Structure formats: structure tokens, C-alpha cells
Amino acid sequence: MQTQPLGSSDLQVTRIAYGCMPLGGTWDAAPLSDSTRKEALRSIRAALDEGINFFDHADIYCIGKSEEAFSAVWDEAPNLRGKIILQSKCGIRFAGEPNPASPHRFDFSYAHILRSVEGSLRRLKTDYLDVLLLHRPDPLVEPEEVARAFDELHQAGKVRWFGVSNHTAAQLELLRAYLRQPIVANQVAFNVIHTGMLDEGIVFNQDNPKLARNEGTIEYCRLHNITLQSWGSLAWGLLTGRAPEKPAEHITRTSALLAEMARAKGVPPEALLVAWILRHPARIQAIIGTTQPGRIAASCRADGLELDREEWYRLFTAGRGEALP
């Protein structure tokens, strides 16, 4: 599989990454079962077989069980750690933790960042993370505290590179003003039916814009060599058979168009969805999160699939649900 640099880091990452969120099975306090571990290993093997070298985690995924499930791979392949790239995220805290009255919240405090990384290292059974992302923006962020935490983790060799997730250009600019380390990645929701980052640059200066402000996040990341990573790359299955909670006409139309184009090209629909993301000149890294080996293989066929402008725009226009200005 083709690789590319991750931002300004020294990491060469596969253009398609594996998202490990579902590996832990359930989002509760139930212990990790043997069957869940086996299914997780099956999914990891499928990703490795396709040439994927980048695995994306977060401390909260399945209440930590996804990281724990992943660590079983070291028993099968003890020499694998130096050949793959591990990324995890921190900053989201659940309601009821640590106290019953604690609300769901975001936490970029020095203490929480350090505590979260220690937990991820323990569950993943590794000495270091290749990349740590700050998960969802914390309105109470103190950039000095983030910088202090990053400095300590980097100096201790526990985290090699740093990034963010779901951050706007302005939020990135604020953090970069305080950090010694470069921000190498920004992970955002992005797919054929979730095109807000593209729409903001298209509907700007229209009479009835869909978006009220133009953050320019894609442009900012391109200018500052920050790799965009897409989560939800497969459109949450809504275009390949999963029934939406609220049926939408544009999703039905896009699903039909996707199937038609996939048949014409002789590829699975998943490959076309990922290829659409990879076609963007920002060199977005597509993260796929399915646990089904067949869908993993289907998605990875995007690596050699090229879309021309007309094909890309057909899907873009269908997915956004309205004509271009």
C-alpha cells in the first residue's frame, strides 16, 4: 500500500489507516471476553494483510477495552511493534467519572493528559505512542498546560508526535502558538455525505449560506503541513446497506449513484468511498473502522483506484444534497 508523510513528522504512514474503536466490543464495564479478543485479532490481521501500518485508538474506545484487545497482537507477533504506527487520543471524559455527579465533558488539563497517556500505554502494552491526538476541543483549554504536558511526554519518550482531532483552523492556531512540538495531524469527520469542510469554502458569500462562518480548516492544514485524517470514511455504512434513522432522499440517491459507479468500475462501493477521500489534493489519510475482514479488503482496493474530476464531483454533488452554486 502507498505511504505518505504524516505532517512534518518522520513517519511514513499508509494512506489508509485502521480505526480500532470497535475492537473492544461493548461500551460498558464488562470484562473483555475471549471471543471479543479473537474477533479483534481477526480484524487486525486483515488490516495487516492489506499492508496497513497505522492503527488509530482513543482512551475512551469501548471504555479502554479496544486498546486492551489490540495488545493481544504482541503475543502473536512480538516483533511487530517497530513495524507499525500507533496513535491514540485523549480529552473526552464520561459522565459519572470520577464522581456520580461528574458531567460528560472535555479535559485538556495537564493532569488528565498525562493520566490518559499512562492508561493507554498500560492497556496497549507498549512503552510509547507514535502519535497522541487531543480528541474534541476543550472550551476551557489552557494552552500552557497542554504545552507542559506535551513537553513532559516527549522528553520522557512516551509520545513521539502530537496532533488534534475535530479542531478548527483558529483552535489549531491557538495551540500552535504555545507548543514546542509541531501539530502533525487533525482528525475530522469527512466523507461523501459529510462535506462541511468543503462546503464552507463553496457557500461563502452566498445569499443563504449553509454555514455561518468560513474557518478554512482544510486550507490551514495544507498551508501548515498538518495531515488531515478522516473518521467516518465509509459514511457509517449509510451508503452500503445500513438503514438511516431518518430516511433522507439525498442519501438514497447517493447510495444508488455509488452502486452504479462501483459496478461500472468493477470495484466494491467501499473502495469508491475511500478513493473519493484520497482524491482530494490535501492528501487526506482515510481511517476505516469496520471489523469485517471483507469490508477491510474492499476498502483497501481504493489504494490503486483513481477518480477523475467528473467522477469526484458527481459523488460530491449527490452527497451534499443540493446543487453547487
CB 162 within 8 A of CB 181: yes
Query: b/e per residue, 110-138, with b = 16+ CB within 10 A?
Result: bebbbebbeebbebbebebbbbbbbbebb
Instruction: Show the domain range for 103.
Output: 3-237+273-320
- pLDDT tens-digit readout, 237-252: 999 988 877 778 999 9
Active site residues: 61
CB 157 within 8 A of CB 136: no
* 248 within some domain: no
* 253 within some domain: no
- pLDDT tens-digit readout, 174-214: 999 999 999 999 999 999 999 988 988 887 666 655 555 55
User: Which amino acid would we find at residue 11?
Assistant: L
For the chain, 325 residues long, the average pLDDT of each consecutive 10-residue run is 98 98 96 96 98 98 98 94 97 93 96 98 98 97 98 98 96 97 97 91 67 78 98 96 82 96 97 98 97 97 96 97 89
Taking the C-alpha atoms of residue 28 and residue 34, their distance in angstroms, rounded to an integer, is 16
Taking the C-alpha atoms of residue 322 and residue 140, their distance in angstroms, rounded to an integer, is 37
Average pLDDT, the chain: 95
Q: Is 157 left (phi over 0), alpha (psi -120 to 50) or beta?
A: left
What integer pLDDT is reported at residue 211 of this predicted model?
57
Query: b/e per residue, 174-194, with b = 16+ CB within 10 A?
Result: bbbeeeebebbbbbbebbbbb
* 164 within some domain: yes
For cell 461563502, name the residue: 204
Taking the C-alpha atoms of residue 208 and residue 191, their distance in angstroms, rounded to an integer, is 23
Taking the C-alpha atoms of residue 111 and residue 128, their distance in angstroms, rounded to an integer, is 18
Q: Pull the grid cell for residue 239.
A: 451508503
Q: At what angle do helices 309-320 and 269-278 cross, to 10 degrees?
A: 100
Number of domains in the chain: 1
SS3 300: helix
CB 43 within 8 A of CB 293: yes
* 255 within some domain: no
Q: What is the CA radius of gyration of the chain?
A: 20
* 111 within some domain: yes
pLDDT > 90: percent of the chain: 88
| pTM for this predicted structure | 0.95
What integer pLDDT is reported at residue 248 of this predicted model?
86
List all residues 6 or more positions away from 252 whose beta carbon is below 8 Å from its beta carbon: none
Q: What pairing do the DSSP bridges indicate for beta strands 159-165 and 85-90?
A: unpaired
What integer pLDDT is reported at residue 125 of this predicted model?
98
Q: Pull the grid cell for residue 244.
A: 438511516
* 221 within some domain: yes
* 262 within some domain: no
* 77 within some domain: yes
Instruction: Check whether the bond before 98 is cis (ω within 30° of 0).
Output: yes
CATH code for the domain of 309: 3.20.20.100
| CA 88 distance to own-chain centroid | 10
